[in-house]
Structure formats: structure tokens, C-alpha cells
Structure 1
């Protein structure tokens, strides 16, 4: 009996850590880079420049991610504000949703709703990458090596043929729009936290049934998880790379323009 409990809990913890630990870490990294980039925009001589150039696409995509998961988990959406350039506290869009606290499916959805932009950003990047780059890496369920995928994507992004492709520049613009608005608010993390315990309980239940009836769910789940994390990780790495490049270029260029206009130097770490 003790061994059974140990195996069930071990499998559940490993699955939970592999899936959600990566999500939280990458979510925090993208949130901080996006926050610092938006601080640059706000201290620029034209404080709304970054918002209107990149946020007009990035903010609605951010809110769409929240709204899509709210629909998937059957939350009632009260209202959606897709883009409000006059929003207070750096919040330029909102999704108001309601749910039944006693419904475990609704509760599980809280995690996905709160983390929605981080979860779906790789999917959006994959879509525009596949459609707009001249030589994208083809998706394959046989590829689950994160290092190999990251190297392949790097080569396809930095290939000489991209510089003469109009689609490549459209990809860069859309990617910057997306990654510059990846910041998760404290409210987003608070919402996501509400779904963690119900998800862990469901994992324990699945592993208990799997152990009892010899379903072998753990092996299949780990295999699918490895493939998903490899591809998701490769595109989240691409999002982080693009975010960092955009952050550095904006910091240098906007500081130069501010200096020419006699404005104060930009400190991206100052709210």
C-alpha cells in the first residue's frame, strides 16, 4: 500500500513539475522582459509610440488568449476590452469572466486562463513562422530534442535568404508585437494560482486509476509531454530571444533619440 502511494505521488509530482514548472519560469522571464520593454516605451519622448506601433496588435492578442481559455473552460465572459490606450497602470485590455467555484473544470481552467498568453504565444509564433519564413522547420511528432530544434530554428531565422524576403520582416514585426505584450499582470498570476491544486488533484486521480487498472498512462503521458515541451520550449526560447533583441535595440535607439531631443535617459528598470 505504501509503495503504491509512493509511485502514484512520484508520478504525479514529476508530471506536474515538468508541465507547470516550465510554464511558470518562462512566464516570469517573458513578463519581466516585456515589462522592461514597456518601461522604455513609456519613458520615450513619444510615450505612446510603442503602444500604438506594437500594442495595437499585441494587446488584442494578449486578451484573446485569456478569452479563448475562458470559453474552453465554460466560464461566463462578462465583458472584453480589446484595446484601451488610456488604460491605467499599464493595463490596456481586460477580460472579465465569471465561474462556479465548486465546479472543478472551471477551477482547472483558472490556470490556463491566467497563463493564456504564455501558453499560446508559441502557437502564434509557430503559425506566423510557418506562413511567413521562406524555409521554416517542418513540424514532426518524431522530433522531441529541444537542443536540436533550437539549433534548427536558429539557422532558419538567421539564414541569408531571409533578408531578401518581405515575409521575414512581417514575421519580425508581428513577433515583436506579440512578445512586447507578454507581460502577465499580478491579477493573471493570481487567477492562474487558483487552478494549480485542482490540476494536481486530477493528476493524482488519473495516476491512481492507472496504477489500479494497469493503464500505463504515465509512460504515454511522459512521451507526449516530452514532445510537447520540446516544441513549445523551442518556440518559447524564440520568443525570449526576440524579446531580448527588441529590448536591447529599443533601449539603445530610444535613448539616442531622447538624448537628441534633450530628454532624460531611459531606465528600463524604473516603473
Structure 2
């Protein structure tokens, strides 16, 4: 029982922030698309999907290749069918390979990281001063060694400052900022995970749990240092915050359009 509980805690430490962020992104996405559809119509999904869906599906495809899966079919963008599917990646793998089984988790959540990577790269090109501010915040927070209320407050305050920096007067005077904002909205509108993504990721999560359980049984988990887990979670959170911020911004904008329509 102690081994089981310890393994559950370690699994949450490794994947908890990813799962929480995925849930938040899903909530923001569903309400944002609903607001856009009620204010602009179904064409809103096509407008955002033209950029967001290919980023989503390419993220799956790249992760699948990295984990040795074979891609059997891929569709980067299409008109939503009866199930609302606008793109897909079908892949196969060797079920006897632990590496490829674990890969299912990362393939499932790949759109989150693919979308974040695209937005950060776009930030670097279009609003470099804000990008530098983001990197400085990330580097400062990664040196945190203890998680307590004051630390959490400081981290939240730093990312609140990032939001203010994104929407600074200087950026509003920069025409490239509007390109960045539009593309980021398109990506964040389709960054969340579908039910198929969640199903695939859960298979990989099960494999991760049993790997950690085996490590605990043989006493090898002691090599996973608590300090490293703290730094890992802070670094992961730093990147996930970017996705959550723009998903929240997309939701606010969609709500604004819906209010105007009403």
C-alpha cells in the first residue's frame, strides 16, 4: 500500500500540472468556440482552425515519430464532420515496447507543447522584448528551491507582470503584435485535447505509473531527487502558463463578441 501511494504521488508530481493545464485549456476552448459560434457563426471555427488545427495535428505527428510510432494516416485540416473532427493522426506502435507505450502519453498531450512552442517562437519574432521578459521570469523562477505560499504568490505575481507586458502600450503600437495576437488566438482555440487524445494519453499514463511502481519496488526511485521535481514542475508550469494565458484571453475576446452580438 505504501509503494502504491508513493507511486501515485510521484505520478502526480510528474504529470499533474500537464493534466491540470489540459483540463483548463479544454474548458476555455469549449466556451470560447461556443461564444464565437453564437456571435460570428460556424465560420469562426474554420477561421481559427485554419491555423490552429494543423499545429495541433502536426504536434501529434512529430511526437509519434519521436517515439517510434508509424503514422498510417494524417489529415491536417478539413471541414468539421458530424463529430466535429477537423483533423486527425492515426498511428500504430509495437505494444511490446515500453518506450512506445509511454510515448502514447506524450503523443496525446503533444498539441499543448506544440502550441506553446509556436506561440513562444512567434513571440520571439514579433514582440522580442516580451519574449525576453518571459525568459527572465522563467530563469528566475527555476531557481526556487522550496514551494510555499510566498513562493507561489511571487510566481503568480511574475506572470501577472508578463500579461501586463504583453498588453503594454509599446506592443499596441507594434503592427506585428496584432499578427502575434491573431495567430496565438487561433492556436489556443485548438490547443486543448480531444477525447481521442485523452484516451491515448491515459494509456501512456498507465505505462508511466507501472514503470515508477517497478522502480519503487527495487528501491531505484531514490535517484529522483525532490529538488529536481520542484524545478521540473516550475519549468513545466512556466511554459503551460503561456497556453493558459492565451486561452483565457481568447475566452475573454469571444465573450466580448458574444456580448456585442446580444
Structure 1 length as normaliser, TM-score? Answer: 0.80
Stretch moving more, 229-238 or 89-98: 229-238
Tell me, yes or no, if the aligned pair for 2:35 and 2:255 is still in contact at 8 Å: no
Tell me, yes or no, if the aligned pair for 1:175 and 1:242 is still in contact at 8 Å. Answer: no
2:183 to 163, 166, 174: 174
- Tell me the residue number matched to 1:50: 44
> What is aligned with 2:259?
252
Structure 1 runs not aligned, ≥5 long = 257-271
Per-residue displacement from partner, 1:8-27 (whole Å, max 9, x unpaired)?
76664333213322222221
Which residues in structure 2 correspond to 1:1-271 (within 5 Å)? Answer: 6=2, 12-43=7-38, 46-47=41-42, 49-136=43-130, 137-140=133-136, 141-144=139-142, 146-206=155-215, 208-211=219-222, 216-219=223-226, 221-253=228-260, 255-256=261-262
| Larger Rg, first or second structure (1 or 2) | 1
What runs of 5+ residues in structure 2 fail to find an aligned partner?
A: 143-153
Cα distance, 1:74–1:138 mapped onto 2, change above 3 Å = same
SS in 2 for 1:97: strand
After TM superposition, the score normalised by the length of structure 2 is: 0.82
Aligned pair count reads: 245
2:76–2:88 contact (8 Å) kept in structure 1: yes
The alignment yields a C-alpha RMSD, in angstroms, of: 2.5
The Cα shift of 1:118 comes to 2.0
Cα gap change, 1:70/1:10 in structure 2, threshold over 3 Å: closer, same or farther? same
